[in-house]
Structures are given as C-alpha cells and as structure tokens.
C-alpha cells in the first residue's frame, strides 16, 4: 500500500494543509520550528491513539488545547486527520480514505467522527465501510463481496468508548480488510532518530533483535540476527558498505567473554578488526541505515529525521539512493533534512518545503514552483537552488 494524500486541519501548526500525490520518497526541508517533526508526528499521534486512546495521545502532547492550532476555539473547533492510501482489494487498486475528527465535549476529548471509505465501483461516491460518531457506529462485515448491492451489505453495529478509535478493535480482524491494512500501517510505521552514542559499545545480548529501534541502540543485536538468520541479506549489506564506505570489507557481530554483544569492523588495510568504538561515526551510521533499509520484514513507512548528521557530505547522494531504492521496493520514506548536499540528490517531485506565516505552516511542493521546475529542467540541483534562496519563504525570517 502507499499513502497518496495527507490532509490536516487544526493539528498544531498545520491549520489547513492538503498534501496530495505523495511520492514513495518525500524529502521535507524548512527552517527550525516550521513543523517538520510535527508532520511526522501525525503518524506517531495515530499510533498512540491505537496503542492507548485519543486521551492518552493528546495528554502526551500537552492535551487537546495544545494540539489544537493556535487561534482556534476549543469549544467549537476540532482536529481532523485524513489519510488516503491505495491498496489492492479483490484484485483492483482502490483509493481508501481514513478520516478522524477529534474535539472536546464537556471538556473531555472525544472522537467526533471516524470514517473509512472507498468506491466499490468505477462510478458513484465512496461508500462508508466504517462510520462512527462519538463511539456509536457500524462496520461492513462483507466489504469484499462486490456481487451484492450496497443495500445487501451486512452492517455490524458496535459501540466503543467515545475517546477510542473504532479501527483499534475492528482493524484486528482480516474480514475488515481496509481497516486491517491501515491499522498495520500505523502500528508498524517507524521513525528513525538515530544516535551514534546509543548505537556504540557493548550491548546486552538479549533484547529486541527483530527491528532496529528508533535510536539504534540495539544495532548489534539486529546485526547478529541478520548475520545468523538472513546471511544473504547481511552479505548484501556488506557489499553495499564496501561500495559506499571505502576500506570497510566486513562487519561482524561478536559475543564478548562477559556475555555482551559488540560489533567489529574490518578495514582492508589492517589485519585485526576494530571494535565499533574505534570506527568513525559516519561508518556506523551508514551501516545502521542499511540494516534498517534491508530489514527482511520492512516497515511500510519510514520517517527519518536529519540523516545527514555525522555523515560525510559525499555520502549524501548514496544515502538518498538507498532511501529511494527502499521506496521502489514497495515501502514509503519521508525524510527531513537541513543538508543541501542531500537535497542535491533529490528529484523535483520528491521535494517540498515548509513555510511558517503568522503561526501557520504551509507546504510548498518543488514541482509546483515554475521557476524551480524550469531550473531543474536545465540541469540545476535542488540543494543549490535552496541555498540561493529560490525556495520562497523557506529560509529563517
């Protein structure tokens, strides 16, 4: 599946934003405080709503009135998050829309309305396969039976807590296919905020070894799992490392005498491998990103914040290629960056920038800017255009 549209209303700095025709690989730039992290937090917010409920997700962010955009009236205004994604249902690609509206009733946060809809045929309006208002609603049980008319579809009436998402429960069952797929996306999305200090050094040999963590602190454990259970994948990562980082010929997860796990890097110029504490920050970070991007059970959506930190500028193009390859394999990658070198490796339709005016954030797509598009057609690069001030409003004011 692939996210095609994100619409936000009154979500923090995003008073009214509609991001359409999203590519598999999207790069977001903008000054500090414009909302790059907030844009990624849309998925974190939905994830927290599923993990707990809307109340706990809002409390984590300062409660409803802090998440609601500045200038809104909490007694009247609401937060809307709407995501459109394309997925296969009964052999056809269909555009599914999930929308949730959150407000306050009697000072308490509630789900005012939650809808999941898509067209059953080529014509007509999208049909509501899930529709809940303040906890009461229905879901269609036989949504994939396209031989039946809309009147013949079986509605299952349910009640959930007013501050809970209906998709939390219904999305567990495969018979609610569109809801199940969307829940899987939100549950398994991944934000990467990699920290070199967290990844280095000895690690307890027990712990989460299936997926790289947000900070990368379990890198040796995940590397060991790949090395032992997916040797072909691990060798592919090493082959890429050898091309991307000159001198690195091997990486070996090693169980130390004291029972802790560490990484050893082999430099072709030396006979003895180095422990990771003696290896450059950039080498470890590149290895970590390759481990993330070649996960045997990949995340449907990756959000990566400022991947350029600790990486040598000449590696920016290579890293962008790896992110793009992940998207081409079926995943989706959103990246925020402050690096013109990274942006130089990005294509016109893959870039956007954020502009904050009067406390509200706007999203500008590079492909929609005629001047930027014209320069790119003549062979210019986005990073250079950004540095020269052609991204209108993107520079700090």
Question: How far apart are alpha carbons 326 and 272 in whole angstroms?
Answer: 33
Q: Which candidate, 119, 116, 100, places its Cα nearest to that of 45?
A: 100
The CA-CA-CA angle for residues 141, 146, 147, to 5°, reads 110
Indicate which CATH number applies to the domain containing 322: 3.40.50.300
- Among 190, 206, 223, where does a domain finish? 190
Name the pLDDT band for 243 (thresholds 50, 70, 90).
confident
> Are 125 and 139 found together in one domain?
yes
> Are 53 and 178 found together in one domain?
yes
Its domain, for residue 131, covers: 2-190
Question: How far apart are alpha carbons 94 and 89 in whole angstroms?
Answer: 7
Is residue 374 a part of any domain in this protein? no
Is residue 397 a part of any domain in this protein? no
Q: Which residues contact 72 (CB under 8 A, 6 or more apart)?
A: 10, 15
Taking CA atoms, 169 is separated from 47, 49, 59, 394, in Å, by 14, 12, 21, 41
> Are 9 and 55 found together in one domain?
yes
| pLDDT 10s digits, 122-152 | 656 788 889 999 999 998 876 666 666 667 7
Q: Which helix (H) or strand (E) holds 141?
A: none
- Among 190, 215, 250, where does a domain finish? 190
Is residue 243 a part of any domain in this protein? yes
What pLDDT is recorded for position 171?
Answer: 65
> Are 169 and 197 found together in one domain?
no
Per-residue pLDDT, averaged over 337-351, amounts to: 96
pLDDT tops 60 at residue 244: yes
Most confident of 49-58, 241-250, 252-261: 49-58
The CA-CA-CA angle for residues 194, 33, 380, to 5°, reads 80
Radius of gyration of the chain (CA): 23
Give the three-class secondary structure for 99. strand
pLDDT tops 70 at residue 272: no
* Longest distance between any two alpha carbons in the chain, whole Å: 74
Most confident of 184-188, 208-212, 310-314, 380-384: 380-384
Is residue 391 a part of any domain in this protein? no
> Are 127 and 209 found together in one domain?
no
% of the chain at pLDDT higher than 90: 54
Name the pLDDT band for 373 (thresholds 50, 70, 90).
very high
Residue written as token pair 């934000």: 191
| pLDDT 10s digits, 67-105 | 999 999 999 999 999 999 988 776 778 888 999 999 999
Question: How far apart are alpha carbons 174 and 180 in whole angstroms?
Answer: 6
């Amino acid at each position: 599946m692939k996210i095609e549209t994100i619409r936000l209303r009154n979500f923090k700095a995003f008073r009214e934003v509609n991001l359409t025709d999203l590519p598999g690989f999207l790069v977001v730039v903008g000054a500090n405080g414009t909302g790059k992290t907030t844009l990624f937090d849309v998925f974190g917010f939905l994830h927290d709503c599923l993990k707990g409920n809307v109340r706990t997700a809002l409390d984590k962010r300062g409660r409803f009135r802090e998440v609601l955009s500045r200038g809104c009236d909490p007694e009247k205004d609401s937060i809307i998050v709407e995501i459109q994604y394309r997925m296969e249902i009964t052999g056809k690609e269909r555009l599914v829309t999930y929308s949730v509206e959150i407000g306050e009733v009697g000072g308490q946060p509630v789900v005012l309305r939650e809808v999941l809809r898509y067209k059953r045929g080529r014509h007509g309006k999208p049909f509501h396969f899930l529709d809940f208002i303040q906890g009461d609603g229905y879901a269609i049980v036989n949504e994939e039976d396209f031989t039946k008319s809309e009147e013949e579809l079986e509605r299952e009436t349910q009640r959930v807590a007013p501050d809970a998402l209906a998709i939390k429960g219904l999305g567990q069952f495969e018979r609610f296919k569109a809801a199940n797929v969307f829940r899987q996306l939100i549950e398994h999305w991944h934000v990467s905020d990699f920290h070199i200090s967290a990844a280095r050094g000895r690690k307890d040999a027990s712990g989460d070894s299936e997926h790289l963590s947000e900070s990368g602190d379990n890198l040796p454990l995940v590397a060991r799992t790949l090395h032992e259970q997916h040797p072909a994948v691990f060798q592919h990562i090493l082959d890429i490392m050898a091309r991307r980082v000159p001198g690195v010929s091997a990486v070996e997860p090693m169980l130390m005498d004291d029972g802790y796990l560490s990484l050893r890097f082999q430099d072709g110029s030396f006979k003895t491998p180095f422990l990771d504490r003696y290896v450059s920050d950039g080498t470890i970070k590149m290895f970590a990103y390759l481990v993330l991007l070649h996960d045997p059970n990949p995340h449907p959506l990756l959000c990566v914040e400022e991947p350029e930190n600790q990486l040598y500028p000449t590696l920016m193009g290579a890293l962008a290629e790896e992110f793009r390859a992940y998207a081409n394999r079926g995943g989706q990658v959103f990246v925020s960056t402050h690096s013109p070198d990274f942006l130089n490796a990005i294509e016109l339709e893959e870039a956007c920038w954020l502009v904050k005016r009067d406390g509200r954030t706007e999203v500008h797509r590079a492909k929609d800017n005629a001047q930027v598009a014209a320069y790119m057609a003549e062979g210019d690069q986005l990073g250079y255009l950004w540095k020269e001030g052609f991204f209108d409003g993107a520079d700090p004011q």
